[in-house]
Every structure is written in structure tokens, then in C-alpha cells.
Amino acid sequence: MPAKSDLLMLRDKMREFAAARDWDQFHSPKNLSMALMVEAAELMEHFQWLTEAQSAKLPTGTQQAVSEELADILLYLVRISDKLGVDLHAAALRKLEKNAVKYPADQVRGSAKKYSEY
């Protein structure tokens, strides 16, 4: 029997966590998407007013806080994908393939332009 993927293990742990607290009733896609954006904003707050160089080399305490915000974002993302029946791993792989077509390496290397600007 193949081992469960990390995302499936997180999904199952999130299901158990929510069930043990009777929180499933609150975990609608709408509520989860809003919570996800709140966590993303909390992540951005750690980088507000930093220079590019400062943002790449965070102090230890800030690095730990950023790590926790990233974990919150991942957990909400896994939870909302579960509620919507989206295979997050498969969707990410499909999106990477789509982006490879939209952004051919030989045409976009070193550029931050949007695909529609080529």
C-alpha cells in the first residue's frame, strides 16, 4: 500500500482537529477563504517596511513568526481544498504545466512581465 502524501496527511489531521472541536460547522468555503486571506495579511505584516535585503534575511524571532504564518496559510489552504473536493497536489501540478506554456523559459527568462505582455 503506498504511503499517504503529506498533503493527504495534513487534510486528515485537519479533519480530525475540526471534528474534535465541532468546528466543521464554521468551515464553509467562504469562511475558510476569508481566514486564509487574514493569515496572508498577517504574513505580509512581517515584511512591511523592510527593504528587499532585510526581507531576505529575517531575524530569528521574525523568521519563527513567519514560519507560523506560512503554516497557518498552508493549513487553511488544505482545509478549503478538502471542503471543495479539490486535489491540491494534482491542481498544483496542472497549474505548473499551464504556467510553463504561458511563460516559455526561452522567452521570459529574467523578466517579470506578465504573459500577456509578450
Q: What is the pLDDT of residues 83-104, one digit of tens each?
A: 999 999 999 999 999 999 999 9
Does the pLDDT of residue 12 top 80, yes or no? yes
% of the chain residues with pLDDT over 90: 88
CATH for 6-86 is 1.10.287.1080
* Amino acid letter, residue 82: D
Nearest CA among 15, 21, 17, 76 for reference residue 43: 76
> Rg of the chain over CA atoms, in angstroms?
18
Question: Where are the chain's structural domains?
Answer: 6-86, 88-118
| Residue 118 CB partners (closer than 8 Å, separation 6+) | 107, 108
pTM: 0.89
| Residue 5 CB partners (closer than 8 Å, separation 6+) | 89
% of the chain residues with pLDDT over 70: 97
Does the pLDDT of residue 3 top 80, yes or no? no
Does the pLDDT of residue 1 top 90, yes or no? no
Quote the cell numbers at residue 21.
Answer: 472541536
Band (114; pLDDT cuts 50, 70, 90): confident
